[in-house]
Amino acid sequence: MISKPILLFCFFSIVFLFGFKEASSQDKNWTHFRGSTLNGIAATEKIPLKLDDSNIKWKTKIHDNGYSSPVVFNNQVWVTTAKPDGKELYAVCTDFQTGKIIYDIKVFTPDEVEGKHSINTYASNTPCIENGFVYVHYGSNGTACINTSNGSIVWKRTDFKCKHVQGPASSPIIYKNLLILHFEGIDVRYIIALDKSNGKLVWRSDRPKEPYEALTEIGRKAYITPIIINVKGRDMLISNGSAVCIAYDPNTGKEIWRVVDGAESTISMPFTENGVVFWYTGFMVSSNGAKFTELLAVNPDGNGDITGTNVLWKKRDEQAQNQLLTPVIKDGLIYSVNTRNKLMCIDATTGKEIWSTHLTSNYNASPIYVNGNIWFFSVKGEVLVIKAGRKYEVVAQNQMDSGIWATPAFLRNSMILRTQKYLYRISEE
């Protein structure tokens, strides 16, 4: 590990690139998990801090079970849901202004359904959306493109498989003309890019076998959603699997670099700021048998195996056995909650903890930065808002009707919030 401060890389910059999207459109639409730029930073400004009847514009019951996050384009809000046994998988569209259900589409009826973890559902993968089309993904149970103007299914694929064991969770992303999907099970691990217009395979990249050989079979799975960055004019798909983080060329699927970290069952997605990429490993096991996770900071300007050259720092979390939510980073500060309910603010330059506090329940939905505040959502329905900064300061606390597992969408001075029972639009306007 290299012990040195992170430099602001003058020679290159990192930006998110998703074909039709720009950062300035983040407040117009919310097209992916954690937003149109997948960074958990909202462009909207006027979100009410008090979540009560005076600010609830509508509340719509979503049938069955699903932890997928809402995505929004124009006047449509889309989520997925599934029967508890996974034998019927749905896509549901509601009207942004009224909450009225526009479409309730049964997309798949799998013949065989693999088991899942008790804290997962069969509809935990967040859709992605663009003008005219929404792409829904249920892991090995199927992927489909839906025409948003009439609710018709444009294409389906059910032939890509892996043994998720604990249920699917990786969300798809759009890159140019491609739909990129992760299949990372205990048996096989690969990434594919489909032509988003017809569902045909463009490329497939299998994870290298060597980094996984030391892991037990159950630890070889992963549930991450990747990001796209640009380094010196070159796009990279950053994908942190359970044993190795790899940067791929998103046009071809060819590997650019890798960092081998040897951890199991990775869930949290990568994130980036100021020319540095950060990611959590899955759980690792120390010599005394204790489980822990690590947060890495990496300079992505490299080729080949950069484990020994480009890792800027590592922060070990010996309290947590895994990392479920994806942290948000803003102005050099990383905000995260581990699986032991510890809320932390971490210096992105050094990896040092600036402050921390213990919360009373689990926070599995990913935090979102909104106009100077960080929003957190618990599995007990608690909504905690703190002021962004180097001092812990609570701005607001609210209680919703039931648990929150899905990361909300923030746009157009509104929050689209999904609880276990309802989908809400909350706004002062």
Q: Is the pLDDT of residue 228 over 50?
A: yes
Give DSSP secondary structure letters for 164-213.
-SS---PPPEEETTEEEEEEE-SS-EEEEEEETTT--EEEEEEPPSGGGT
- Across the range 278-294, mean pLDDT stands at 84
CA distance 65 to 284: 31
Residue position matching structure tokens 């329940």: 361
User: 220 in helix, strand or coil?
Assistant: helix
Domain extent listing, the chain: 23-427
Q: Which of 278, 177, 193 shows the shortest CA–CA distance to 229?
A: 278
Give per-residue pLDDT as tens, 411-427.
999 999 999 999 999 99
- The count of other CB atoms within 10 Å of the CB of residue 271 is 25
Strand, coil or helix: 215 = coil
Rounded to whole angstroms, what are the CA distances from 374 to 23, 50, 251? 19, 15, 34
Average pLDDT score over the chain:
92
Are 73 and 31 contacting, i.e. CB atoms less than 8 angstroms apart? yes
DSSP 18: B
Per-residue pLDDT at 32? 98
**pLDDT of 9 over the 90 cut:** no
Report the percent of the chain where pLDDT is more than 70: 94
4: how many CB neighbours lie within 10 A of its CB? Answer: 10
Side chain identity, residue 426: I
Which CATH number is 23-427 given?
2.130.10.10
Q: Provide the pLDDT for residue 15.
A: 41
Q: Cα–Cα distance between 159 and 142 in angstroms, integer?
A: 8
Specify which residues 377 forms β-bridges with: 383
DSSP state of 275: T
Dist CA 80 CA 92 (whole Å):
6
Report in angstroms the alpha-carbon separations of 259 from 216, 278, 307.
19, 12, 5
How large is the average pLDDT for residues 341-358?
97
Amino acid at 198: N
Total-model pTM: 0.93
- Please report the DSSP string for 352-403 in residue order: -EEEEEE-SS---SPPEEETTEEEEE-TTSEEEEEE-SSS--EEEEEE-SS-
